[in-house]
Amino acid sequence: MRSPSAAPRAAVTLDVRRHNVAALLRALLREGPAPRIDLAERLSLSSGATTRITAELTRAGLLEELPALPSRDAGRPRVPLDLASARFHAVGIHVGLRRTTIGLVDLRGRLVGEPVRIAHDGELDPAVVVAEAAERVAELAADTSARILGTGFTTVGRVDVASGRIREQDVLGWTDVDIPDLAAGRFPGLLVVESTQRALCRAEMWFGADQGVQDFVHLFIGNVIGAGLVIGRELYHGQGEGAGQIAHLPLSRPAQMPCECGRGGCLMSVAGDRAVVGRAVREGLLREGQSVHDLAELARGGDALADYLLRDRARAIGEAVVIVMDLLAPDQVIIFGTPLLVPDHITEIRGEARRWVRREFDADKVIKPSALDDNAPVISAATCVLERFYADPFALIG
């Protein structure tokens, strides 16, 4: 007969094993390939425990051996282990105003191949958007030999992660949209629905931002605007998943477009892509249908007015950054999106922040461009799945 304490002991053993497996995979992710003996030292594990864990992960296809390294003491060669990144992928789906972008991402957070872009052409019905995305995901999955761990689905707005519902997305006009219900099992693996702003924070923590940064705010500026908040390396969701809804933050500047909030001079109506493009159209720089990318190309080509409009927008963002800094005093404010199309314009954001802040601070250190590239919305969506994988890999792969 089993003792009453047998079940709790088994649970503790399972938790320790799960912790050690996850820690070993994260060590390889962050520090690169390493022989078993180095992993044991790094993780304070016995050689026997390390051998058992790495054998289990190798059998599961999660690790691969690299060519042997010379021994340090004329003993047996040391064989480095690495993540088998090419064998497992996550799907990332980002839904924006103009298009849905989809891609496959490997275990190191790298985009595999080119992303797929589906133009909306004004069709924003969520059932249609999800159905078209599911069709393209099925094509991507059929074309790869990698195992798909799951699918991350993101858009800017208020998202309930637990239920997978998009509670509110002003620009798309979506309210209480049940993504798992619309998907009806058509997305492979685990489905994680998240806000773009929080997903980008996750990607920064895993693949971008300095590991020493404990508190940061990630500002996403594009056709839509949002912020993600990280406090003590943990995402802050807020009441009703409402943290980071800064699109309608009031500024001291005149609006460049009508805003659905009914107020003039909010961040969206001053610094959103549609606001700056509308201003460029009125100035005769752009035609209807052109984008902020066209305006940035003019600025990079030396057009003084295009450069001025984008710098003025950057200064408006700098004013918003100051409000965030005064309220939260984060270690960093990370800027992502179209303001970085002309990299030098980050100096305008920093300069405006210096003008408004009432205390000493190092703007170059605090206000930083994102370390992620233009594919970050897709990579960050996939990161929502990869984060679950690195917490408990066998829960996803069986």
User: 45: Cβ–Cβ under 8 A, 6 or more apart, which residues?
Assistant: 20, 39, 53
99-106/88-95 β-pairing: antiparallel
- Torsion sign (Cα): 244, 369, 118, 183: negative
pLDDT digits (tens, 9 = 90+) for 63-106: 999 998 876 666 677 899 999 999 999 999 999 989 999 999 99
Token readout for 122 is: 């004004």
Q: Which amino acid would we find at residue 12?
A: V
pLDDT of the residue at 1 = 47
CA of residue 50 relative to chain centroid, distance: 32
pLDDT digits (tens, 9 = 90+) for 300-353: 999 999 999 999 999 999 999 999 999 999 999 999 999 999 999 999 999 999
pLDDT digits (tens, 9 = 90+) for 235-290: 999 888 888 889 888 888 876 667 776 677 889 889 999 999 999 999 999 999 99
Q: In terms of pLDDT, which residue wins out, 30 or 360?
A: 30
pLDDT digits (tens, 9 = 90+) for 15-26: 888 999 999 999
What CA–CA distance (Å, rounded) separates 372 from 202? 11
Question: Residue 392: which pLDDT band, with cuts at 50, 70 and 90?
Answer: very high
Instruction: Give burial (CB, 10 Å; 0-12/13-18/19+) of 301.
Output: exposed
% of the chain beyond a pLDDT of 90: 76
Q: Is the pLDDT of residue 119 over 90?
A: yes
What CA–CA distance (Å, rounded) separates 103 from 4? 50
